[in-house]
Chains A and B, each alone.
Chain A
Amino acid sequence: MINLLIAIVIVLAILVLAKVARVFELSTELKGENPAEVTEADNKTQSTLFMVMGLAYLVFVVYSFVAWGKHLLPPAASEHGAEIDNLMGISFGIIIPMFFITHLVLIFFAYSYYHRKSRTATFFAHSNKLEMIWTVVPTIVLTTLIIYGLTVWHDVTGPEPDDAMEVELYAKQFDWTARYSGSDNVLGKSGYRLITSENPLGISIEDGASADDKIVRGELHLPVGKPVVFKFHSRDVLHSAYMPHFRLQMNCVPGMTTQFHMVPKTTTKEMRQITGNDEFDYLLLCNKICGGAHYNMQMNIIVESEEDYAAWLADKKTFAESMGAAPVVEVAEAVQTEVLEEGAEEVSVEDGAVVETEETAPAGH
């Protein structure tokens, strides 16, 4: 019933608008005007409106920088991020003036040259000199930007330092798991066919390197000033590990390992002072559409001194310890059956995650 009423109201509203338009047209026709013909008065009014609205737009742009500039991300908390911030600053330093100059010209022209019977337009079809100028100048500016941009890109994506600590970030619908590589700094091999509910990352028990790996959920801790190289994995669909404060983003692709390395340079404590927000925490978000609870696939990142980090990690069980009780599975088929048996349970866990996203948000919030 209510739907019908809404539909009727909409139809009536459109009819009324049409009628209003008709009355309007008839009244202008009575005055001897053509409701479609653009008059000299229209040209004057619209050109003035271009000036007023155009300037209002520019004021709005300035206002938005003043009003919302404070919400922008704080300075990068990673070493490579500082380089990116510089490049960003220079790029904006070029595009913002370009924006204002071209818009002022556009507004001025739109305002000044409205049609008057007394005027004639200037026949000016081309000028090689002018066109040369605005081909060559942007080319020079862009070449500079390209070269600087590629230098930064080269630095950011170059090989990681030898002493970089390896950390795996493992994505699935809809959470993140971190795996530290332990004292050998080598992540044990893993495979999706080894996944069970006790071994959700599918880590190979046979690989010696996996024994000291430590698996952590909820929070990712990093020592300040130490290079870390993240190895990204996904078990189901595409995800993207996005750490905006560190200027870091990399897709997690099933069937493929991707990586990104960085050196965190600001501790969480320091960043809380910089932002003046006592509850500030670095974030790891999912930034590739991955399903219903995509919007809540997150993990907090804590950057702290090396001692605090070591103390925090010391508490965590190694992979060998956590699997200690479980029998070592050696035959491939045995793994298969186990996977199938655990299937039902996995499903229910996943469903729970979807439904109770609000409740399963990390404890920090």
Chain B
Amino acid sequence: MSDHAAHEDHAHHHHHGKPDFWTHYVFSQDHKMISKQFLITAIIMGFIGMALSMLFRLQLGWPGESFGILETVLGKWAEGGVLDPNMYLALVTIHGTIIVFMVLTGGLTGTFANLLIPLQVGARDMASGFMNMLSYWFFLASSVIMVGSLFIETGPASAGWTIYPPLSALPEAIPGSGLGMTLWLVSIALFIVSSLLGGINYIVTIINLRTKGMSMDRMPLTMWAIFITAILGLLSFPVLLSAALLLIFDRSFGTSFYLSDIFIGGQALEHTGGSPILYEHLFWFLGHPEVYIILLPALGITSEVISTMSRKPIFGYKAMVLSMLAIAFLSFIVWGHHMFVTGMNPFLGSVFTFTTLLVAIPSAVKVFNYLTTLWKGNIVYSPAMMFAIGMVSTFITGGLTGIILGDSALDINVHDTYFVVAHFHIVMGASAIFGMFAGVYHWFPKMYGKMMNKKMGYAHFWLTVVSVYGVFFPMHFIGLSGVPRRYYSNEAFPLFDALQDINVSISLFAFLGGIAQVIFFVNFFYSIFRGTKATKNPWHSNALEWTTEVNPGHGNWEGPIPTVYRWAYDYSKPGANEDFIPQTVPLKEGEEEVH
């Protein structure tokens, strides 16, 4: 109770007035509240994205069969309960867009960058609370527009989440390229603004607002991951914005950046001189770094969780930082591996193969360092740790198939097949979402001052990991059998009939995965209100965020900001009384700082 009173006092002190409902919960400039706003929006968006995939999994598991639920949910897009082919493409498109951008980019980074940066570097708040607030509101607007586009007459964007023109530029080519695509572009433009506002803030805060003693090489790896992610985003998202703007010009103002020599709907179009390949270059110049924008924060969270819960220092701290920097650097010069079969100059293909396969080296270093961190640890299996270990598994499984796809000669035959779907869902989708779950379970006590229920956490983990592999592992085989992705049905090809059983089991595992997420949903909201009260440092962690009160007020620390004397990974250090030494504990006489 005294905690609570102190917190109120503190809030008064900083706000110069009683915070009302609106400034506290809605137009909040407190990084912790903004973080919760991002998280809850992302959870809702995640559910929508996942629900869309369930709808098209019905069609893929049992093509052409009638499902009442489809007609109930989709109305005219599933007359008689059978999904419309155009709507199938729309579902695939919006599923991908929502998960990639709203959940794994905005949601993951928005939640943990906002929550952790000031708390882990020792700052009262972000450099600009106002920009931070704007970042959330642009994100929300973008999410609302994206979901809203599902409800319009001509249907949402349907050209795949990569929206390659001319398909995305011409409403004659597919109905979703009408108003649906306009809304998609508007939504993504707002999303990019949100992402840039956030990113600038993250970088500035990490560079300028570190507390005394918090040198860059004492920062937790989460901070490094988010710092590098923010730089990636800052350099690559503007390129996507320009790609989107040029597409808007082509669609609405008659320019020809991406269009040329097109005869459609019985007419030769006037566009000449453009090239859709230009769009692909611009898109993937963002698109590939985007993969790491999604993955790095998850890797950072996993590093922090694995070290803390193994009661061991993260193995090879410097190598972990260097490998993230190497991955980030390489991510800017590998985009062409998405375009090996576009007819690009074969020499260019060679260069991209070379740089792409190099990514495997820092990735391998990370995996071996994770494994060595576990070695001879004293592992506490909190639900967060379960997901962190699951993430190591998905990162290995999905990462290894990257060696196939990154090789231009091999890509010829697996490009755009289910092999790719398997690869990126495991390495990027599952790894990132596992990292995100690890983060939610781990920092929930910091966000809400409550603990999440561990048994539901375990059930959530095991059901999720089983469904992830049950859904995506078999897709490798479907892909290697030559089945293209984004097919509404394989029934037009008797050669693929033998694979239909696999598709049925994939759909069943997908539904199991959906049920597993309901457990998380219930646990999350239930624990906010009814969870057991958290203690100040429930995981016995060294990092700075656990030195605040259980429910830190606006400003984070009541007294002065703590000073830092050591890195964040002094776990089980010989000579210490306990198996952890918080960063705020000065070095003992004669004690060496290791890292």
Residues of A within 8 A of B (CB): 2-3, 6, 14, 17-18, 21-22, 24-25, 29, 34-38, 42-43, 46-47, 49-50, 53-54, 57, 60-61, 64, 68-69, 71-73, 81, 83-84, 87-88, 91-92, 94-95, 98-99, 102-103, 105-106, 109-110, 113-116, 119-127, 130-131, 134-135, 138-139, 142, 145-146, 149-150, 152-154, 156-158, 172-173, 191-193, 195, 202, 232, 235-238, 240, 242, 244-245, 247-251, 253-256, 258-259, 279-281, 283, 285-296, 298, 339-340, 342-347, 350, 357-358, 361, 365
- Given A149-B353, A235-B263, A60 and B489 contact (CB-CB distance below 8 Å): no
Q: Is the Cβ of A57 less than 8 Å from the Cβ of B319?
A: no
B316 and A109 contacting across the interface, CB-CB below 8 Å: no
Residues B415 and A113 in contact, CB atoms below 8 Å apart: no
Q: Which residues of B contact A245 (CB under 8 A)?
A: 482
Stretch among B282-290, B357-365, B583-591 lining the A interface: B357-365
Q: Supply 23 A–B pairs (Cβ within 8 Å), ascending by A.
A: A43-B381, A53-B466, A60-B473, A64-B476, A72-B480, A87-B409, A115-B378, A124-B312, A142-B357, A153-B349, A153-B350, A156-B412, A157-B349, A192-B262, A192-B263, A195-B268, A202-B263, A236-B264, A249-B341, A259-B343, A287-B415, A291-B173, A292-B85
Contact status B267-A121, CB under 8 Å: no
Asked whether A343 and B266 contact (CB < 8 A) given A38-B454, A125-B595, the answer is yes
Bitwise interface map of B from 489 to 514 toward A, beta carbon under 8 Å scored 1, else 0: 11011110011001000000000000
Residue numbers in A under 8 Å from B276 (CB-CB): 238, 253-255
Q: Does residue B79 face the partner (Cβ distance < 8 Å to A)?
A: no
Question: How far is the CB of B256 from the nearest CB of chain A, in Å?
Answer: 9
Whether B374 sits at the interface, judged by CB under 8 Å, is yes
With A134-B365, A294-B486, A295-B85 known to touch, is A99 a contact of B167 (CB < 8 Å)?
Answer: no
Are A237 and B263 neighbours in the complex by a CB distance under 8 Å?
Answer: no
Q: Bound complex: CA of A227 vs CA of B331, how far in Å?
A: 38
Q: Is B216 an interface residue (CB 8 A)?
A: no
CB pair B361–A279 under 8 Å, yes or no, is no
Q: B165, B275, B469, B480: which contacts A57 (Cβ < 8 A)?
A: B469
- A46 with B354: CB separation less than 8 A: no
Across the interface, A95 reaches (CB within 8 A) one of B401, B458, B521, namely B401
Q: Which among B263, B396, B455, B518 has the highest number of chain A CB atoms within 10 Å?
A: B263
Chain B neighbourhood of A36, CB < 8 A: 451-454, 531-532, 534, 538
Contact assessment for B396 and A138 in the assembled complex, using a CB-CB cutoff below 8 Å: no
Add 4 more A-B contacts to A98-B400, A242-B484 (CB < 8 A): A24-B455, A73-B413, A88-B404, A114-B378
CB distance from B551 to the nearest CB of A (A): 16
Q: Are A255 and B260 in contact (CB under 8 A)?
A: yes
Asked if A102 contacts B367 (CB within 8 A), the reply is yes
Q: Is B572 in contact with chain A by the CB < 8 A criterion?
A: yes
Which 4 residue pairs across A and B have the least CB separation, nearest first?
A244-B482, A36-B451, A255-B260, A258-B343
The segment out of B7-15, B117-125, B180-188, B386-394 that lies at the interface is B386-394
Closest to B397 in A: A99
B526 touches A21 (CB 8 A): yes
Chain A residue, CB-CB nearest to B574: A123
- Report the bound CA distance from A311 to B455 in whole Å: 72
Q: In the assembled complex, which residues on chain B have CB atoms less than 8 Å from the CB atom of A156?
A: 409, 412
Known: A289-B159, A292-B86. A244 touches B393 (CB 8 A): no
Q: Are A289 and B396 touching (Cβ within 8 A)? A: no
A150 touches B350 (CB 8 A): yes
Residues of chain B with a CB closer than 8 A to A154's CB: 346, 350
Which single residue of chain B is at the shortest CB-CB distance from A340? B267
Give CA–CA (A286, B415) in the complex, Å: 12
Residues of A within 8 A of B361 (CB): 135, 138-139, 142
B511-524 vs A, CB cutoff 8 Å, 1 = contact: the mask equals 00000001101110
Bound Cα distance A245, B389 (Å)? 39
Q: Which of A126, A340, A357 has the most CB of B within 10 A?
A: A126
Residues of A within 8 A of B532 (CB): 25, 29, 34-36
Q: Chain B residues near A50 (CB, 8 Å)?
A: 389
One of B277, B353, B358, B382 near A253 (C-beta < 8 A):
B277
The smallest beta-carbon distance between A230 and chain B, in angstroms, is 11
CB-CB nearest in chain A for B392? A106
Q: How far is the CB of A57 from chain B (nearest CB, A)?
A: 6
Complex Cα distance, B414 from A73, in Å, reads 11
- With beta carbons under 8 angstroms apart, the residue of B268, B403, B451, B482 that contacts A145 is B403
Residue of B nearest to A25 (CB): B453
B368 within 8 A of A: yes
Q: Given the complex of chains A and B, what is the CA–CA distance between A251 and B454 in angstroms? A: 50
- Determine the distance from Cα of A83 to Cα of B495 in the docked complex, in whole angstroms: 24
Q: Are B313 and A124 in contact (CB under 8 A)?
A: yes
Flag if B310 contacts A113 (CB, 8 Å).
Answer: yes
Q: Is the CB of A35 within 8 A of B454?
A: yes
State in angstroms the CA–CA spacing of A153 and B403 once bound together. 15
For B275, the chain A residues whose CB sits under 8 A away are: 253, 255-256
Contacts of B312 in A (CB 8 A): 121-124
B-side interface size class = 35 or more
Q: How far is the CA of A104 from the CA of B204 in the complex (A)?
A: 42
| A290: chain B residues within 8 A (beta carbon) | 167, 173
Least Cβ–Cβ distance between A351 and chain B, in angstroms: 10
A184–chain B nearest beta-carbon distance, Å: 25
List, in ascending order, chain B residues with CB within 8 A of A357's CB: 85, 492
Q: Report the separation of the CA atoms of residues A57 and B86 in the bound assembly, to the nearest whole angstrom.
A: 36
Q: Mark B327-349, 1 if CB is under 8 A from A, else 0.
A: 00000000000000111001001
Q: B525: which A residues are within 8 A, CB to CB?
A: 18
Once A125-B569, A242-B484 are accepted as A-B contacts, the answer to whether A346 and B477 lie under 8 Å apart by CB is no
Residues of chain B with a CB closer than 8 A to A119's CB: 378
Interface majority SS (helix, strand, loop, mixed), chain A: helix
Considering only CB atoms, which chain A residue lies closest to B314 in the complex? A125
| B337 → A minimal CB distance (Å) | 12
Q: Which of B264, B314, B358, B410 contacts A235 (CB 8 A)?
A: B264
Contact B349 A295 (CB under 8 A): no
| Most chain A CB neighbours (cut-off 10 Å) among B260, B361, B452 | B361
Find out whether the CB atom of B455 lies under 8 angstroms from the CB atom of A123.
Answer: no
The reply to whether the CB of B213 lies closer than 8 angstroms to some CB of chain A is no
Cβ of A113 and Cβ of B502 under 8 Å apart?
A: no
Q: How far is the CA of A294 from the CA of B488 in the complex (A)?
A: 8
Chain A residues whose CB sits within 8 angstroms of the CB of B315 once the complex forms: 124-127
Contact with A along B68-108 (1 / 0, CB 8 A): 00001000000000000110010000000000000000000
Return chain A residues, CB-CB under 8 Å to B380: 38, 43, 115
- The answer to whether A347 and B266 touch across the interface, beta carbons within 8 angstroms, is yes
CA A145 to CA B170, docked complex, whole Å: 42
Assess the A125–B173 pair: CB atoms within 8 A. no
Contact of B572 among A57, A122, A191, A254 (CB under 8 A): A122
Q: How far is the CB of B299 from chain A (nearest CB, A)?
A: 16
- Docked-complex contact B410 and A255, CB < 8 angstroms: no
Bound-state CA distance A342–B489 (Å) is 33
Q: Are A298 and B89 in contact (CB under 8 A)?
A: no
Contact present for A46 and B522 (CB under 8 Å): no
> Which residues of B sit under 8 angstroms from A173, Cβ to Cβ?
173, 264
B375: interface (CB < 8 Å):
yes
Q: Is B215 an interface residue when CB atoms closer than 8 A count as contact?
A: no
Asked if A298 and B409 make an inter-chain contact with CB atoms under 8 angstroms apart, the answer reads no
CA distance A25 to B530 in the complex (A): 10
Taking a contact as CB atoms under 8 Å apart, the answer to whether B595 and A126 are in contact is: yes
| B465 beta carbon closer than 8 Å to chain A | yes
- Give the complex CA separation of A279 and B493 in angstroms: 12
Among residues of B, the one whose C-beta sits closest to the C-beta of A242 is B484
| Of the residues A34, A152, A339, contact of B409 by C-beta under 8 Å | A152
Residues of A within 8 A of B375 (CB): 109, 113, 122, 124
Contacts of A255 in B (CB 8 A): 259-262, 272-276
Q: Which residues of B lie under 8 Å from residue A235 when comparing CB positions?
A: 261-264
B371, closest chain A residue (CB): A105
**Residue numbers in B under 8 Å from A103 (CB-CB):** 393, 396
Q: Decide if B453 touches A298 in the complex (CB within 8 Å).
A: no
- Bound CA span A116–B316, Å: 25
Q: What CA separation (Å) do A152 and B272 show in the bound complex?
A: 36
